[in-house]
Structure formats: C-alpha cells, structure tokens
Amino acid sequence: MLAHCSPRRAVDVLHRPYGKVKPRSFQRRTFVSIETLTNGFLDLAIALPLPPSFPPYSTTIIICTVISRLIWTVPFSIWAKHRQRRAEEEVMPIINSLKPGVSKLVLAEMQKAGVRGTKEQIQAVHGKRVKQLLTTRQKQLFSEYHCSPGFTMAIPIITQVPLFMGFSIVLNRLSQAPTPFDSESFLTLSTLAHADPTATLPIALGLITLANVESSRWFMTDAQRERQEKVQKWKEDRVARGETVIEPQKIIKSALRLISVGRIVVATMVPGGVILYWVSSATFGLVQTWIMDYWELRRKRKLALAPAPSKKAPAAKK
C-alpha cells in the first residue's frame, strides 16, 4: 500500500497516532469490568447463607440494594439535610431580621432620589429593590455558611445516579442469555430475565415514586403550613392583579409526577432483575424520606415547645 502513495503520505501513515485503537481497548476493559461484577454477583448469590425458600438471586438483589444505599447514599442525604437545616435556622433568621432595616434604607434612598409615581408603582419599585438587596445578601450568607440550596438539592441526585446506572447495567447484562436468571421467578415475574408480564411491579414503581414526591406535605409543622398558606394567598393576590408568578417548586413537582408515569412505561420494557432493583431502590428511598422527615418534624416541634431563653434582670444595687 505504501508503494502506491507519495513519500509524504507514507510518512503520515507510518507516524499516524494510535488514537483510533483506544476505543476498542476501552471497550474491552469496560466489558471485562462488567463481567467481573456480574460474576461477583453470581458468586455472592450462591455464597450467601439464605434459607432454601428464599430465591437466591432476587434476595441478593434486594440485599445489595439496601446495603449499597445505606453505605453510599444515606450519608450524603444526611449531609444534605444538615446543610438545609443551616439554611433554614441560621441564614433565614438573619435575612428576616434585615428586612425592616433594608426596607427603610431603600425608602430613604427613593425619597432622596425623588422617585415619583402612583402608590402601586412606588410600592412595586420599592419591593423590587428590597428583594434585590436581600437576595444578594442571602447568597453571600449561603456561601459563608456553606449551605447553597442548589448544591444541597443536587447532592442526593449526584450521589445516586452513578450507583443506580451501574447496578442497572450489571443486572441488564446478567439478564442476557444464557443466564441463571431464567431459572428463577419472583412475585409476578415469571423469570428475572424477562419483563413483568402483568406490569404489576412497573405500576408499583410509579406509585412509590409518586408517593415520594407527595410525601413532603405529610410531615409539616403547623408553622410551615401557616407560612405556606400565606405564601399561596400572596401568590393568588399577585395573579389577581395580572402579575406573572413563577413557582419553581410546582414546576419541579409537576416534572417529577411526569417522571413517575414515565418510569412505569420504561419499567415494562426492562428485564425482571432490573425492575426488581428499581422497585427495591425506590422503596428504600421512600422509607428513608419518611424517617428523615419524621425525625425533622419531631425536632422542630421540640424546638417550638422549648421555652425561649429569658434574659436575667440586672441585680439591684445595694
């Protein structure tokens, strides 16, 4: 081949980098790593001292799900809860205490600048400027206290996705023929290698996911409910005045509800071993959410019932 090309072309061919060979090597290493994990899972299922009535592979999937979530995701969820607590109990009280002073300062600046208009226009400008100043200060405090809400919300997702995707890939690989998953059934699954013919587990997955989305309302203190009602009334008043109100929480909840329905559709097409893992993981997540929210509710109620520290009166001079 080199004899029929120019000398320059021949040099280029001889000195061509071997970058195109890397993907094949990478795929081979990835394939070997997945094979190692699948073989390790099968060995673990055989080695576990399970009662004869327990299906070994299904039980191992559930055990691995619980242990991996306890070791990997629960600590990060607790960490995120501590960050949320700092934001609610340390940063927000500071912001609330700054509101009267900032409001007076902005009003004085507007009077000094000679801002004119109708009462509604002046109130709108005043509220906008106060909100900008408080938002800037709030971001600074979130940074100082290391409790930024965006990162706090992203922590559970960032930590769960690699584990979820990795275990799903391993179980999907184990479901490919020839596989011992063909010889085991569990609940409505005829085999762990085929999809649920009754769609019972996929529907259960969607309901569990939806319950996890809606459970935030179940563990609210009276103060939180009252504050939520006030915010809702304030939003309704703004909508009545023709103003546009963007509600990120409602948008996120609506998206999560759609995801719950979408998971049902996807789960009807995956092997039984994968759907069993998804249902086990979703159930663990729901129970974890309930426990953490219940503990948080009890803690807030104790704080609300605790007497406020009284200031000691100065001793009278003799």
The series of mean pLDDT values per 10 residues for the chain, 318 residues long, is 41 40 45 74 85 89 92 88 85 87 85 77 81 88 85 83 89 86 86 88 91 73 63 64 62 80 89 92 91 80 61 43
Q: How many residues does the chain have?
A: 318
Q: Please check whether residue 299 is in contact with residue 81, taking contact to mean a CB–CB distance below 8 angstroms.
A: no
pLDDT at 236: 63
SS3 136: helix
Q: How far apart are CA 59 and CA 44, in angstroms?
A: 11
Kindly give, in sequence order, each residue whose CB lies less than 8 Å from that of residue 284, ignoring residues fewer than 6 positions away: 65, 66, 69
Type of residue at 283: T
Q: Please check whether residue 175 is in contact with residue 273, taking contact to mean a CB–CB distance below 8 angstroms.
A: yes
pLDDT at 220: 61
pLDDT at 205: 92
pLDDT at 15: 42
Going through 59-197 in order, the beta strands assigned E by DSSP cover: none
pTM score, whole prediction:
0.72
pLDDT at 283: 94
Q: How far apart are CA 110 and CA 124, in angstroms?
A: 12
By C-alpha distance, which of 85, 74, 89 is closest to 296? 85
Residue written as token pair 């340390």: 90
pLDDT at 231: 62
pLDDT at 92: 86
Query: Cβ atoms within 10 A of the Cβ of 34, count?
Result: 16
Q: How far apart are CA 285 and CA 282, in angstroms?
A: 5
